[in-house]
Amino acid sequence: SDLREQEERGELLQPLSFVLLVLCSVLLYFKVSLMDPGFVKPEEEAKAGEAEGQSLVIPQGMGDVKLRRCGYCLVKQPMRARHCQLCQHCVRRYDHHCPWIENCVGERNHPLFIAYLSVQLVVLLWGGHIAWSGLYFQQSWEWLQHNIFLLLSFFLIVIFTIVVLLLLVSHLYLISCNTTTWEFMSHHRISYLRHSELENPFDQGIILNLWRFFC
């Protein structure tokens, strides 16, 4: 049969790989959007004084830092946590609330969010290549009528690729500096950063920052 001949020639490998990448992207999307991003729970208050994970580590040069109580959910906030009014919870190592996944990006799902963006970027680049390879430009109205949907698909893929690429690059930069989007955008409003002797007291060098985040 034709399918068997295509399989023997290895022509089915690329479409199968593409479908698997798309499936992986969809699964990562649901995983990141549905999982707990690192909500601070009331029963954890007894442990608030202990160094429990990255959120509670107080760097040198910051002096005495007192944990404050959230004015919304009334739990003691670990350092780098912030209350999200959309999620109605305080989130550990809060980065941002992402409307794309309808969830916060925080301590627990941030690495998976980076993995999702990476896989999504590969899917978009591959899809853009497929769409571009199907275009054979001709200066005629008839050609445009037959290829209008392919052209629109290609331009949409280009736009989404630029957005995802910028998101991924900006997040990798912030991770390499061991800072979050919230801390980067609101540095002057955060007390433990505003009164710190260092501009970024959490920065431990690119290699160690990346290692601690991903490993």
Query: Tens digits of per-residue pLDDT, 128-171?
Result: 888 887 666 666 666 667 777 878 888 899 999 999 999 999 99
Whole domain around residue 4: which residue ranges? Answer: 1-34+108-177
Instruction: Among 45-49, 89-93, 109-113, name the one with the lowest average pLDDT.
Output: 45-49
Mean pLDDT of 24-29: 96
The rounded percent of the chain whose pLDDT value lies above 70 is 79
Query: Does 195 reside within a domain?
Result: no
- In the prediction, which pLDDT does 51 show? 43
Query: Does 198 reside within a domain?
Result: no
If one compares 7 and 146, the residue with the highest pLDDT of the two is 146
> What value does the mean pLDDT of the chain take?
83
- In the prediction, which pLDDT does 150 show? 78
Query: Does 24 reside within a domain?
Result: yes
Judged against a pLDDT cut of 80, whether residue 8 lies above it is answered with no
| Cα(136)–Cα(140) distance, integer angstroms | 12
Instruction: Among 33-37, 48-52, 64-68, 190-194, name the one with the lowest average pLDDT.
Output: 48-52
Contact present, 3 and 12 (Cβ < 8 Å): yes
CA angle 127, 131, 132 (to 5 degrees): 115
Judged against a pLDDT cut of 80, whether residue 115 lies above it is answered with yes
Number of domains in the chain: 1
Query: Does 60 reside within a domain?
Result: no
Query: Does 154 reside within a domain?
Result: yes
| Nearest residue to 66 (alpha-carbon basis) of 188, 190, 192, 200 | 192
Judged against a pLDDT cut of 80, whether residue 106 lies above it is answered with yes
Main-chain dihedrals φ then ψ at residue 203, nearest 5 degrees: -70, 125
Main-chain dihedrals φ then ψ at residue 49, nearest 5 degrees: -85, -10
The rounded percent of the chain whose pLDDT value lies above 90 is 51
| Cα(18)–Cα(28) distance, integer angstroms | 15
Query: Does 45 reside within a domain?
Result: no
Query: Does 206 reside within a domain?
Result: no
pLDDT bin (cut points 50, 70, 90) of residue 38 is very high
**Residues marked as catalytic:** 98
Query: Does 148 reside within a domain?
Result: yes
Contact present, 48 and 76 (Cβ < 8 Å): yes
- In the prediction, which pLDDT does 60 show? 53
| Cα(42)–Cα(214) distance, integer angstroms | 27
